[in-house]
């Protein structure tokens, strides 16, 4: 069973990695997305393809409350409808020109994309705060094998040197995983560094195992 079945929420980025006025690429079960935040701070998730010429919208730029394609400047509102075509400034774009959108929630320092139609909002991890994200060139099963335990709802507890760090996992394809490192709220700088190092150690071990134990 996938860690994020239909009716759930998938963590695709940390809130801190998406400041107002920026756009970043991300991956959802529906495919690549352009995750962006307007100048006023509202987040949106678009299919990462401009309807005009197919350019990736994650290469575009945020202008106020809209996202513009880097290629020809077509601009889209958060609802996905086209607002402006620079080559035809007098034209009111028809409603048929629009980008596919996905529901997105910003909660607990994590950006969540809905998988299907969840009955409730995304999960909250009381007492935990996001520290950083890292990409792992291995699947979730490889991470579980090294950790010696199974992820529960995408959350994997990894213990190293008698300390447990919580890792929120999101599959990124056949053999790739996005790993969000969570730490206790109020953790000291030393504890945060230790958690980051533990996550790095797990990443390296999982990647080495996936490549047949080749040392890095």
Residue 1: what pLDDT? 43
Residue 213: what pLDDT? 56
Token code pair at residue 176? 């790739």
In a domain, 121, yes or no: no
The DSSP code sequence of 154-208 is TEEEEEETTEEEEEEEEE-STT-EEEEEEEETT--HHHHHHHHHHHHHHHHHHHH
End of a domain among 115, 147, 173?
Answer: 115
Could you report the average pLDDT of every consecutive run of 10 residues in the chain (216 residues)?
Answer: 80 97 94 97 97 96 97 96 95 94 95 91 94 97 95 92 91 93 95 95 95 59
Domain count, the chain: 2
65 near 42, Cβ under 8 Å? Answer: yes
Strand ordering across the sheet containing 31-37:
22-28, 31-37, 43-47, 101-102
95 near 81, Cβ under 8 Å? Answer: yes
Do residues 73 and 169 both lie within one domain?
A: no
CATH of the domain at 205: 3.30.70
Residue 215: what pLDDT? 43
Q: What is the C-alpha separation between 27 and 58, in angstroms, rounded?
A: 11
In a domain, 2, yes or no: no
Do residues 12 and 109 both lie within one domain?
A: yes
Do residues 98 and 153 both lie within one domain?
A: no
End of a domain among 65, 90, 115?
Answer: 115
pTM of the model as a whole: 0.90
Residue 141: what pLDDT? 95
In a domain, 122, yes or no: no
Residue 2: what pLDDT? 60
């Amino acid at each position: 069973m996938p860690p994020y079945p239909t009716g759930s929420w998938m963590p695709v980025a940390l809130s801190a990695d998406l400041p107002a006025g920026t756009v970043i690429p991300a991956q959802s079960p529906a495919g690549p997305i352009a995750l962006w935040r307007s100048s006023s701070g509202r987040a949106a998730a678009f299919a990462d393809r401009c309807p005009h010429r197919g350019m990736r919208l994650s290469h575009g730029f945020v202008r106020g409350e809209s996202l513009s394609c880097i290629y020809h400047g077509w601009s889209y509102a958060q609802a996905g409808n086209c607002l402006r075509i620079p080559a035809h400034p007098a034209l009111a774009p028809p409603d048929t020109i629009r980008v596919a959108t996905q529901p997105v929630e910003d909660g607990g320092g994590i950006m969540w994309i809905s998988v299907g139609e969840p009955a409730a909002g995304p999960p909250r991890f009381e007492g935990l705060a996001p520290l950083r994200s890292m990409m792992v060139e291995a699947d979730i099963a490889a991470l579980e094998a090294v950790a010696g335990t199974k992820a529960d709802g995408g959350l994997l507890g990894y213990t190293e040197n008698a300390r447990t760090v919580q890792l929120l996992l999101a599959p990124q394809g056949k053999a790739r995983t996005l790993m969000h490192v969570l730490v206790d709220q109020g953790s000291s700088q030393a504890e945060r560094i230790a958690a980051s190092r533990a996550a790095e150690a797990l990443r390296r071990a999982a990647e080495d195992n996936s490549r047949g134990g080749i040392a890095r």
